[in-house]
Amino acid sequence: MKVTGYRSLSTVHDWGRVTGDVNGVQSGETTPVPVLILETDVGIEGVGLGSHFDIARVFPAIDGEDPRSVVALYDRMLDWVFKAGHAGPVFGTIGAVDMALWDIKAKAADEPLWRTLGARERFVPAYASGLEYGLTDEELAGLYGRFADRGFKAGKLKGGRDLDRDLPRLEIMREVLSRNSRRPALMFDANESWNQAQAARYVAAIEERMDLTWVEEPLRRWDAAGMAVLRGKVRAAIASGENLTGLEQYRPLLDAKALDIVQVGNVWGITHFLRVAVLAHGHDLPVSPVAYNANPVAHAAAAVPNLLTCELQDLHFPVGLDVDQQFDDGGIILGDRPGIGILVNESQLSPVNSAAAIPASTGPHIRPERAALRLVAEPDVIDDPAVPLRPVS
């Protein structure tokens, strides 16, 4: 079997609501979902999800290779780009390719990926995480109510800018999830919007009212010393790692004992997750994947011994993707469809380059100019879009 080509497609995920975090809210209710299809000479095709802008640069590393050699090909892709470095978008491309290679490998074995990777069970524990920063309190309650209907006992709230806004919303989430647990797990995600002093004060204020299971990305992703100090000032566990690209970026954090929960982004692929999970296991730390459309890394999560929980952001899938998963009893139930369980209806998708993308001017993927430099809670765009966050010249 040989890899012979690829197709780069795009679809959207229709959330039916706005999504975002303390750094910004999406302007609409849909978000793009890049889809990579790897082709082989025997007709088996692999599906990889996530941005893959550098596919033309990375593909020669696997062209003509046996896709079942996926671990060796992962290292070959890293070697292929080593002079310029693999961090950033190229790491996402490698992740999408890696995902598609694992999909092919499991399909060739005629079994779901979770079985190929040696998992014993198909159930993956998860927590609700609705990217809900732009929702009203009523919408927030409805969203987590739908997760609670599926048995979820844990949830994560986005915030970090206005304590008077965040505390009631945490209480709403706790109340809704309490229908399934006397003490639901509550997580709080600041998305790198604080400095060390802000983080210590903010989390301490929350912990006067309730227990937090973890606080996520309280500081910049590389601030090992800061997170190590913060661990000694708050009761909540410190979770981070979703934006780290490569094992070498985890080492300073682990050496500094800065993390309690090691997180990994779905978009970086299967092999990266497996390697980070082993690294974390060697430090007696649990691992938790951060979600992406169709939860592809859930297959790998089912196979590692130190999985704590997976993030689940929505109960629906992107347009044109039929995903063999169910959500019940507070988790993800993986199916028996061979590979990662995704069928692509290409009639509902479009080529990636068919329309030029319009760059966003604001939103959760753009760090605000004054992040971590605010003395007080300023007017928020979700409270009054007409109020600028800084004077307009």
* Measured distance CA(272)–CA(294) in Å, rounded: 18
The helix-helix angle for 270-282 and 70-80 (nearest 10°) equals: 100
Distance of CA 374 to the CA centre of its chain: 27
Q: Are strands 123-129 and 24-25 parallel, antiparallel or unpaired?
A: unpaired
The amino acid occupying position 275 is R
- What was the pLDDT predicted at 393? 38
For 115-345, the fitting CATH number among 3.90.550.10, 3.20.20.300, 3.20.20.120, 3.50.50.60 is: 3.20.20.120
- What was the pLDDT predicted at 286? 98
- What was the pLDDT predicted at 375? 80
Q: Alpha-carbon Rg of the chain, whole angstroms?
A: 21
Report the sign of the C-alpha dihedral through residues 271, 223, 52, 36, in that order: positive
Distance of CA 248 to the CA centre of its chain: 20
Secondary structure (3-state) at 25: strand
CB-CB contact of 268 with 90 (8 Å): no
Q: Which residues pair with 36 in a beta bridge?
A: 8, 48
- What was the pLDDT predicted at 389? 44
Joined tokens for residue 315: 């109960």
* Measured distance CA(213)–CA(379) in Å, rounded: 29
- What was the pLDDT predicted at 386? 44
CB-CB contact of 97 with 65 (8 Å): no
Residues of the chain with CATH 3.20.20.120: 115-345
Distance of CA 156 to the CA centre of its chain: 13
* Measured distance CA(256)–CA(241) in Å, rounded: 14
Report the sign of the C-alpha dihedral through residues 371, 377, 382, 385, in that order: negative
- What was the pLDDT predicted at 383? 52
Topology of domain 3-111+348-352 in CATH is Enolase-like; domain 1 (3.30.390)
CB-CB contact of 58 with 90 (8 Å): yes
Q: Which residue has the tokens 């682990």?
A: 254
CB-CB contact of 159 with 165 (8 Å): yes
Residue 40's nearest CA partner among 88, 86, 136, 105 is: 105
Q: Which residues pair with 127 in a beta bridge?
A: 311
* Measured distance CA(178)–CA(19) in Å, rounded: 24
Q: Name residues whose C-beta falls within 8 Å of residue 142's C-beta, 6 or more positions apart in sequence.
A: none
- Residue-wise pLDDT for 348-364, tens only, equals 988 876 554 566 677 88
- What was the pLDDT predicted at 392? 37
Identify the segments of the chain with pLDDT beneath 70: 353-360, 378-393
Residues of the chain with CATH 3.30.390.10: 3-111+348-352
